Structure 1
C-alpha cells in the first residue's frame, strides 16, 4: 500500500521518509505573548502571556510493506521484464531467484521486507502470504505444488534468520517514527521464508508477497479502517524460478563440417456634622426716617432701642474700592427750651477709615470754629436728622482678620458752657471677611497645592493614603470678618473616563464632597453644601473628598503625569463674600480593569476538531488593553519555546516544533496600519506580506505613529485604553 502522506512527510521531516507526521497524542501547545512599554513609567519593556492552548494530535494510522533497501513500492506477479524499474515485471535483484533446486531435505528461499508505519500511532499489522505459481508451460499450480510461507522478525535486519529471530504467529506492532530524530523508528524488518515443494515442477515459476492487514486512515471518508487489507496492486512479490535441468548425451566434437553447431538460448537477466444654619438675613433692618434717604443697598443696620446705637452688617463686593456704610440717625431735644446742638466727630479711627457727617438730606454740614458740626437750634421736643457716612478700606482678599469699626459721635448741647458731649451715639461697622484653603494648623492656606493620588477600582477611603479611589484634602474656613456667617461650599474636578464597551474617552465632572472634620481630621456626619454659622475668629475644619469612578483614565501618559486641577469655591450666605482654592491637584494612577493590563485570550476554532497530521490548527488571539492609559510599542508574538509564567508556569510552547506556519490575519478597533514581521526581520504590511520558507516567529502590530504611520512598530505607536487587536493564526500539523 502506498501511504497518502508520504510526499508530505518527506517535505516536513527530512530524514524520516516513512514518517506520517506528529505522533498521535502529542500535545501541541501555544502561548501568545504581547510586548509593550509599561505605561507607568513610559520606559520599561513589559510582556504579557495569553492562556496556553493545547491541541492533542489525533491518530492517523497507516502502514505499508516494502522491499527492503528500496523505496520502489508494488509490483505484479508476472515474469521478470528486462529493464523494468517499477511495476509489472520489476523485481529488485535480491527478490528474483532463478534456478532454485528443490531438495528432499527442503529448500528455503528467504527475502527481507520492511513493515513501515506510515501513520502516527502504533499499528499492529498481521501478515499473510499471497502465493501463486505456474508450470513452465503456463499451467496454474495449486495445492501442494505451491510453496508454503513463514514470516520471521529480523532483529538485526541482516536478512538472515538467526537465533532470536522468532517466527510470527500474530500481528506485528509497528512503532511510531519520532519526527524529531534523524532516523526512522517506524519500521520493522521481517524475513519471508518460502519453502519450496520437494516436487516443484521443473521450470515452474512462483510469485510470493506478504500482504498486510492493519489500521488505515481512509482519506476519502475521513475514517479509520481497523482491518484494512493491502490491495493486490500494492504487493511486493519475490520471483522464484525452479531449475529446469537438462541432461543429454552429446557426441564428440563435430568432425563433420556439413553439420551446423547448435547454441541453446541463454535467459537474460532483468534488473507527516454640623448644626442648624442661622442665616444673618434674619437681622431686621431699621426703618428709614420718613422722607429720609435710603441706607447703602444690601447693608443691614440694627438699632439698639435703648441707646440708639447702630450696628451695620455690610455685604461683600467684588471691587477693590473702599466700602461705604451710611447710618441715618437724629438728635431729639428733650429739654424745655430750644437748644443749639452740635455733633462732635470721632477720633482714633482705624487707618484708612473716614467719617463724614451730613444733614438729614445728605448735605454737607459746615463745621464750626471748634471743628464740630452744628445741627442748628432744635425746639423743645423736636428732632433733627443727620447721617454718618463711614468709608473704610475694602477687606476682600486679605488674610488679616478684620475687626469691627466703632464710630462714636458726640452730641453737645449749646445750653451749657462746656464742649463736653452730653450724650453720644455709637455707629459700628462689621465688615465681612473669610479665608478658605488647605488646613494649615489653626488657619487655612489657599496658596498650598497638595496633590492626591487615587487608584481607580479600589475601595473608597477617608484618609490621605494614596492607595484607594478617594482623594482627601483637609480644608478650613476661618471667619476673619466681624460678624458670624454660614457659607456655601462646592467643588469639582473634570476627569477623563473610558467607556468600557466602546473605548470612547469623554469628560466627566466629579463633585467634591465636604464633611466636618472630627478631632482626628477624619470626615464625620453627612456631606455639606452649606456650613453651620461660623463665629468671627473661628476656624471650621472640613474634609474635601473626591471619589473617582472605576473607569477613570489615568493622568499618566507614557510616564509623564499631568495632574488635574480641582476647583473649590466658597460664598458667604449673607455677605456673598467669595473665596476659592483652585490649585489642589489630583493624580489618577495607571491601573487595569481586567486580569492583567494587557489581557490576551487565545482560543481554537471549531476547525481544530480534526487534529490530524497535515490538517490545520486555527487559533484566534484577542488582546485587549485593560489599562486606563494607552500603551506604546505594542505587538503580539507567536513563537515556539515560550516558557510559561503565572498560570502557565510549568509549560513551554512547542507550536513550531510540531506544526508549520500557514497564514495570519488581523483586525483592530482602533486606527492604524496592521503590520507583520517574520523571524524578527523587517516589518511588512500584513495584507501583502511574504513569509519565508521556514517561519519560527510571527509578530503582529498596529502602526499609527501619532497619526503618521512609518511602516514599523516603535515606541511612537500606541494602543488606546480598551483597544483590541484580534489575530487569526493558522498552522499545519506536521
Structure 2
C-alpha cells in the first residue's frame, strides 16, 4: 500500500514536494489580465478580479519497511528469552499536522509461530536505528495503543518494535509481528491495519546469533563541497554458541543503498576491532565503481563478544541535497557460520545521512542574470510604456528619462544557481528618487504572488539552473516635479533555502520630468490643497459629500481618470466603497438635483494648464458600517501621461446605529439595450428575528429612469416586480437563514439579486441610480428596542448603472471540479483538497460601440498547482510561455506554477493567430477556461 502511481510520480517530477500535496491552509490566489487595441490603435490592458482557493487537510500514513508473512521485510535470529529490536519509520503522508495511534499485531497463522513474551514500542529519539538505554521511554497511550503526537506534514517518526522471545520457545519456532498506524485526523487512513504490509520475523535457534547495527559516527562538509561520512558497523553474538567465518560487509552502491552515484569508500580508511580480523576492499559487485565495497573478516566470535568495522565514505559535492524525510541511506550485513554449519546473513538497521542543499541566486538586467559575473550584456529593449531601457555589463540597466506621474517597467532575469529547488523573495530599495515613488513587482503583468506565505512576493519554485523573468514597475508621483539627477531602484533576490544567499541588481532612471496634477479639497489653490481636511459625520447607509478640485499644474493639456475608495469595517468584514464623482456645476459644494441628474463622471475631460475642475465626491456608506473614522483616499490619474495626484486627508465618521443592514452599493456598466445584475446582502444586525410582516422595503430610481425596469429575487432564479413579494416568497419557501428557516435570525443574511433592465435607445453615458431601502417595522416592538428610522435613514444601497460605449471588461471565476479533470461535475465552494482540479473561467466582453483588436487574455498557473487542461470557443487558441499558438482542442503538456498561458481567437478563420487578431465586435464576449491540479 506504499506504491505511488505513475501519474503521481509525474507530478512529483514537476516539483510537488509534499507526499499528500500542498500544505493545508495554503491560499491559492490567481488573477488574469487582457491586452487589446481600441479603434484609435491605442494599446490598452485590463485586470480581472482576484480569485482565491483554500487548500484543505487530508490525512495519510505509511510505515516502512514493508513485508508479508511469507516474505518478511526484516528477519533476525534469536535464542529463547532474547530481546529483538526491529527499527521502523512512520511517515505522515498527509498535508497537515496529525497524530497517530500505533499498535503491534502478532500473526500465528504461519506454522510453528509463537507469540512474543512481551512487545513494546519506543521512539528512536536520535533516528540512528539503534535502541539506546535512554530511548526506553513509555509513550502516551490511548485505548491500549501508543500515540505519536503532532507529526508535521511529511514528517517522520523513527521507532522500534521491541519483542522478547518466550523462554520456552524451541528451535524452528518463529515470532511474526507487524506494527500498525491510524490517523487521528482521518481514521480511514491507516497502514498495516488491514492487510499484511509491515511484517518482521524472528527465527528461534539454539546456536550462534549475530545481531548487527550501523551508525553514523560523524559528517563533515569539506571546502570542496564533498560530504565526508564516517560509518560504524557493529555485531554482537547474542546466541549460545560461537560463530565462525564472521564477515562484516557493506556495498555502498547497491539495491540496499540510496547513496548517490560517485560516492566512494576512502582508501585504507577501515579500522576494525578486535585487530585480529582482516580488512579487504573487494570489487565483486560487477559495477563500474571500484571503491564501493568494504568488509572485515573475523575467524571466530564467542557468545557475548562484539566485533566492529569503522570506515569513511565521500559523497561528491555535485550530488543532490537531501532532507531528513528523504535522506541518503545505507545498510550493512553480517554473514556467519553457526555450530551446525549453517551460514546466515543478517542486515543492519538503515543508517541515514542528510546532505544540506547549496543555495545561490543571480539577478540582473533583462537577458543577463549573472550581470558583471559574465561577459554577456543584455540587449536594449522597449518597455510596455514605450520607453527604451539600455542594460550594461555592470549589473545596471537605465532609462534615460521618465515623466513625473508616469511609470517605467524594467525586465529582470533571475536564475537559480544553487543545486536544489528554491523560492526567491524579491525586495526593492529606492535611492534618490522623489518622495512617493512606488515599486510594483510583477510577472507577465500580474502582481508577484507570495507562494510560500512568508509575507514577501516571490518567484515561486525554480529548479536548479532555471531562469525566470520578472518586471519591476517604478512609478514617480506627479507632485514630485522635475529631478535632473534621477535615481535608482536596487532589486534584491533572496533564497528561501538559505536567506544569507542573495544577489542585487540596479535599475536607473536618468532624469525625471514633470507633468503634474493636484486633487484636494476646495480652496484658493489650483487643484485644492490637502492641508485643509474635511470630516463628514454620517449614519450607516447615508452619503458623505466632499467638495473637491482637480487642477492641471503641468505644462500641457491633460485629462484625468477619477477614482476613490473608503474601506469601511462592517459586521461582516472590511468593505471597500467606491467614491462616486459629479461635476459641481454651480460651484456651491452641494449636490443639487440637476447635478445628480447629469450623472456621475469617471474622467474630468480635458483641463488646460493652470486650470481646474470642481467636483462633488460622494461616498455611499455601507448600511452595516461600524462606528469609527475612516480615511477617504482619492486619486486623479492621467491616462495619457500617467500623472497621478492623491488626496487622503478627508475622513468619514460613521455614527452608531443598529438592526437591519442592506449592503453593499453596486455600480456597473452595460450597453443599450442591456441588463445589469447586482447582488446585495440583507442581514439582521439586531438581536430579534423578523419575517416579511416585520420588514418594509422601498426602491427608488434616479437619474436616467425612462423605460428602465427592475426585478428582484432571493434565490437568483425566481424574480418579482417588488422586493416585498420576493422576500415573502423566500419566507414561504424556507429560503431564509438556517436556525429558523421562516425568519431571518440575528446575524443571518440572505442574498438579494436586483436585475436592472436598460431600455433600447438609452443615451451613452446616461446613468441610473436605483436606491433600495429596508427598515424593521414590527407592530409591537419590545420595550426599549432601538429601531432604524424607516422615514429618514433606513438601510440603503444604491445600484449605479452607466450606459457605456467603450472598452473591455474581464471577469474571472473558479470552480472546484473534485478529482475529475474534465470538470463534468462541480463541487460546492472553491476550497479544495490536494489532487483536486480547479477550473478558472476567464470572460472578456467588449463594452464599447467599436470593434477591439489584438484581444489576448492572459493568465498564469497559480502557485502549488500544475496546468492540466484548457478549453475555449470554436477557433480558440492558446500558447504557453510565449511559445507557438495551439488550438484548444489539443491538450496542453503539464506546466508548473508561474507559467504564462495566453488565449486568443482565430477571428478570420485562417487557422492561425495573426498579428491583428483577435477582433471582438461591439457587445461580443469570449470565454476560455484553464484547469489546474492542486499539488
Give the TM-score band, short-chain normalised.
Answer: 0.3 to 0.5
TM-score normalized by structure 2?
0.34
More strand by share: 2
Q: Which has the higher contact order (CA 8 A, sep 6+)?
A: 1
TM value normalised by structure 1: 0.43
